[in-house]
Amino acid sequence: MKEEYFDDLLNIQTSGEQKGFLESFHYHRYEPTPYEALEKLFAEYRPKSSDRVVDFGCGKGRLAFYVYHKFDASAVGVEMSEGFYGEAVENLHNYIGKKERIKFQCCLAQEYEIAAEDNRFYFFNPFTVQIFIKAVNNILRSAVDHPREVDIILYYPSEDYIFYLENSTGFELIKEVDLGKQNENERFLVYRFNQTFD
């Protein structure tokens, strides 16, 4: 119900899953985060309008539209698939709200150039830990070069992602949002790296 409601409300089409096989085992199939899960996450973790959320493996752009519509936070969707990128751009064209604060970029996650204003990063298990490590290292370099508070949000977090963040980086777990599902992996984890100088 909520899937259709929000897509209709925003005049976008983000439902459906990826069909067929991927060209590389490093990348996982597209599946949008359910709106119901996003509502539970953002009831406990609220972006500010000054935040810029980067969604790695954004698919058709659901998260970008949602955080802008709900919180006026700017958003960037990073997508390697030209097909999904094209659908995200089409959704941006059809979107009923202001379009200036939502952007999409077609590139590999590890090639996305982290901007100084990027401070919230979202991952729904889009790829293997090898690529995740490269993306996180880019985030950390940016946070050191442009000191700021940076959060990583994981949905359906893999043990490899968790192990890397907790054992090889300065990120610390600040929040867990349990979705009350039978599958214990169906949850959000929010990690924070605070490279600020007061």
Asked whether residue 148 is domain-assigned, the answer is yes
For 10, the 3-state DSSP assignment is: helix
In a domain, 102, yes or no: yes
Q: Give helix 2-10 / helix 62-71 axis angle, nearest 10°.
A: 70
The pLDDT-based confidence of 183 (bands split at 50, 70, 90) is: confident
| % of the chain exceeding 70 in pLDDT | 91
Residue 179 lies in a domain: yes
Kind and range of the H or E run holding 7: helix 2-10
- Enumerate the β-bridge partners of residue 194: 149
CATH value at residue 162: 3.40.50.150
- 20 pLDDT band, cuts 50/70/90, is very low
107 residue type, one letter: C
Question: pLDDT value at position 22?
Answer: 47
d(CA 137, CA 145): 12
- State the residue range of the domain holding 86: 2-13+32-194
**pLDDT band at residue 21 using 50, 70 and 90 as cut-offs:** very low
128 is a domain residue: yes
Residue 61 domain-assigned (yes or no): yes
Residue 133 or residue 31, greater confidence: 133
Which residues are CB-contacts of 177 (< 8 A; sequence separation ≥ 6)?
Answer: 40, 41, 44, 45, 187, 188, 189, 190
- Determine the 3-state secondary structure of 114 from DSSP: coil
Please work out, in degrees rounded to the nearest 5, the angle formed at the alpha carbon of residue 60 by the alpha carbons of 54 and 64.
35
For the chain, helix, strand, coil in percent to 5 are 35, 20, 40
pLDDT of res. 26? 47
Query: Does 39 map to a domain?
Result: yes
At 18, give phi and psi (nearest 5°).
-70, 135
Q: Is the pLDDT of residue 30 over 80?
A: no
> Given a cut of 90, is residue 51 above it in pLDDT?
yes
DSSP for residue 181: -
pLDDT in tens, 122-179: 999 888 999 999 999 999 999 999 999 999 999 999 999 999 999 999 999 999 999 9
pLDDT at 27: 54
- What's the CA gap between 130 and 43, in Å, rounded? 31
Tell me: pLDDT of 2 over 80: no
Number of domains in the chain: 1
84-98, 100-114, 174-188: range with lowest mean pLDDT: 174-188
Within a domain: 21 = no
Q: Write the DSSP string, 50-101.
A: T-EEEEET-TT-HHHHHHHHHH--EEEEEES-HHHHHHHHHHHHH-SS--TT
Is the residue at 118 inside a domain? yes
Top-confidence residue, 23 or 91: 91
Helices (H) and strands (E) in the chain, counts: 6, 7
